[in-house]
Structure 1
Amino acid sequence: METEILNTDILNQAQSWILNNQELLIRYTVNITAALLTLIIGFMAVGMLTGGMNRVMKARKIDNTISDFVTSMLKYGLLAFVIIAALSRVGVQTASFVAIVGAAGLAVGLALQGSLSNFAAGVLLIGFRFFKAGDYVEAGGTAGTVQSVQIFTTILMTPDNRMIVVPNSKILNDNIINYSKEKTRRLDLVIGVSYSADLKLTKEVLTRIISEDVRVLKEPDCRIAVSELGASSVDFIVRPWVKAEDYWNLKFDLLEKIKNELDANGIGIPFPQMDVHLFREDKA
């Protein structure tokens, strides 16, 4: 009996509190609902806006490194704005919140100096355009095809399809070699022949091989000359100019053809050898 009376009192007090604070409850319910709707609609709008902007930039053939970087920056900035707007709907003072976020950002910034340097390096990489998406580069102690430049990192893909994530600051602070920047490249080959070989014939064979390949550019001229009298070989340099996209295929084909043609003309290619002399010692 006493328990029932106690429960009834609690229920009556709750009902009385609800009636007395009905306006407050309605206001908070509306504010919380509005905040949730702001978050949901805001996140959807940010996704649609950034996605559409990315598609437009790619349709206008803007470099992927620029479009991805700008899209990422815009996305995070808009998401921060949506979150602040949602918090203001539930009564959070945005001015105080911004001040708190600023102070927290300063503390986090001091703790994450490396990340901030990566961010700054990413801005510089995009601004100076040292490379673009699709370029094959050697940077940050590794090499690969540039996929994209993110806020903090650059994504490279190796020829054997491995993804390499390199911090932007490491790339900016190291040498950057862009193999795809120019349309043409010089192929440097060193061909060693034996000292007994006919040098004039060797040069004629090498010249004929180069002239017969249509992938070799007529200008600039290909340089074929003796470069060194080595310990066991006479070294020729063969330096044809080719289109950048033909570089590797031409290199492999020329090496194979040069070997076959030298063999066919009786021109030897020396290789390391060791002569072992055995002496028999007679026992007394």
Structure 2
Amino acid sequence: MEMIVEFWSSHSESIIGIGYNALLCLIILFASTIVAKGVRRSIRKAKDRFEKLDATLVPILCATATYVIYIIGGVFILDIFGVNTASIIALLGAAGIAVGLALKDTLSNIAAGIMLLFLRPFRTGDFVEIGSVMGSVKEINLFTTILETFDGLYIASPNSVIWGSSIKNYTRNGKRRMDIVIGIAYSDSIDAGLDVLKKIAREEPRFLNDPAPETMVVSMAESCVNLQLRGWAAIDDYWPTYWDLNKRVKEEIEKAGLTIPFPQRSVHVVTGPGTIDVAEAGA
């Protein structure tokens, strides 16, 4: 007991100072956490108030703001303990170069993520095709872009891979053209087939007036004449309209008395000298 009293009497000022500094550190950490949460909350609310703030930016801004706040808090903590922050910053700069060389792939993902946010080839909710991957954009963070495919698969693709690939955005323009192709027999009237397609186009309310729907003969195939109906629809109406029209075009073509032929092939069989049998068969 006497040793404790003696130790306290000789080191009380140092102990109180250390305790005071430790308490300040805890307060700074607590304050940094509160401020970081408040900033993240403010950024999310700002997205709802400002239409120009893309939802894609929110995760990046939240993460960046959190890192900055904690770094500032760390500098204050080091300053409390009398650490020369200027020399530490210089040391961190040198270490940062070494770490940057070691983590060049990771840093390239960050740089690619920033470029994606500034140039905005896609936004959260857009349906895109990147390389061999297709899906809806769920999130862009510092390192990866999160996609969800048609069948509900979760895909996390590095930002550098996305930035280095061709990006096909099916949502950005707000509309999309569909091409409905139907074949009729060579003995059928082409004008009659085109009239059927024009009637369908006039009666389809989901088609846009600008650009206007078109009908045309697109090719002379082996067994049929291919007619095409082209029409534009809003993104939300594209697939329901496309599926409905494929069904309706077939039904209307047959109702008009036109034929949708099967592919035909003529087979010549040589059975003996000077003898040739000819048979026709569906492909």
Q: Above 0.5 in TM-score?
A: yes
Question: How far did residue 68 of structure 1 move?
Answer: 2.8
Question: How far did residue 56 of structure 1 move?
Answer: 2.0
Structure 1 residues 265 and 17: alpha-carbon distance in aligned structure 2, compared to 1, 3 A threshold: same
Question: How far did residue 152 of structure 1 move?
Answer: 1.6
Q: 2:24 aligns with which of 28, 34, 45?
A: 34
Question: In the alignment, what sits opposite 2:255?
Answer: 264
- Deviation by residue 1:53-98 (Cα, 9 ceiling, x = unmatched): 3212332232101233222211211122222322332344322332
Question: In the alignment, what sits opposite 1:174?
Answer: 165
Question: In the alignment, what sits opposite 1:17?
Answer: 7
Question: How far did residue 187 of structure 1 move?
Answer: 1.2
For residues 2 and 184 of structure 2, the distance between their equivalents in structure 1, rounded to whole angstroms, comes to: 106
Higher strand share: 2
Q: Matched residue of 1:267: which SS? A: coil
Q: Which moved more, 1:204-213 or 1:151-160?
A: 151-160
Q: 2:108 aligns with which of 117, 127, 141?
A: 117
Question: In the alignment, what sits opposite 2:207?
Answer: 216
The answer (yes or no) to whether the contact 2:135–2:147 under 8 Å persists in 1 is: yes
Question: In the alignment, what sits opposite 2:134?
Answer: 143
For residues 70 and 262 of structure 1, the distance between their equivalents in structure 2, rounded to whole angstroms, comes to: 56
Pairing 1:50–2:40 present: yes
Q: Which moved more, 1:71-80 or 1:88-97?
A: 88-97
Q: 1:93 aligns with which of 77, 84, 101?
A: 84
For residues 168 and 162 of structure 1, the distance between their equivalents in structure 2, rounded to whole angstroms, comes to: 18
For residues 132 and 268 of structure 2, the distance between their equivalents in structure 1, rounded to whole angstroms, comes to: 47
Question: In the alignment, what sits opposite 2:216?
Answer: 225
**Structure 2: stretches of 5+ with no match in the other structure:** 273-283
The answer (yes or no) to whether the contact 2:175–2:234 under 8 Å persists in 1 is: yes
For residues 175 and 39 of structure 2, the distance between their equivalents in structure 1, rounded to whole angstroms, comes to: 40
Q: Percent identity?
A: 34
Q: Which moved more, 1:27-36 or 1:53-62?
A: 53-62
**Structure 1: stretches of 5+ with no match in the other structure:** 1-10
The answer (yes or no) to whether the contact 1:136–1:143 under 8 Å persists in 2 is: yes
Question: In the alignment, what sits opposite 1:206?
Answer: 197
Q: Which moved more, 1:137-146 or 1:22-31?
A: 137-146
4+ runs deviating over 6 angstroms: 273-281
For residues 118 and 269 of structure 2, the distance between their equivalents in structure 1, rounded to whole angstroms, comes to: 69
Question: How far did residue 30 of structure 1 move?
Answer: 0.9
For residues 202 and 71 of structure 1, the distance between their equivalents in structure 2, rounded to whole angstroms, comes to: 58
Question: In the alignment, what sits opposite 1:164?
Answer: 155
Question: In the alignment, what sits opposite 1:103?
Answer: 94
Question: In the alignment, what sits opposite 1:4?
Answer: none
Q: TM-score, normalised by structure 2?
A: 0.86
For residues 168 and 268 of structure 2, the distance between their equivalents in structure 1, rounded to whole angstroms, comes to: 49
The answer (yes or no) to whether the contact 2:131–2:166 under 8 Å persists in 1 is: yes
Question: How far did residue 274 of structure 1 move?
Answer: 7.0
Question: How far did residue 14 of structure 1 move?
Answer: 4.3
Letter in 1 for 2:16: I
Q: Matched residue of 1:154: which SS? A: strand
For residues 18 and 151 of structure 1, the distance between their equivalents in structure 2, rounded to whole angstroms, comes to: 50
Question: How far did residue 213 of structure 1 move?
Answer: 0.8
C-alpha RMSD over aligned residues = 2.4
Give the aligned length. Answer: 271
For residues 40 and 243 of structure 2, the distance between their equivalents in structure 1, rounded to whole angstroms, comes to: 45
- Deviation by residue 1:103-139 (Cα, 9 ceiling, x = unmatched): 3322221111111111111111111122222222212
Structure 1 residues 273 and 230: alpha-carbon distance in aligned structure 2, compared to 1, 3 A threshold: closer
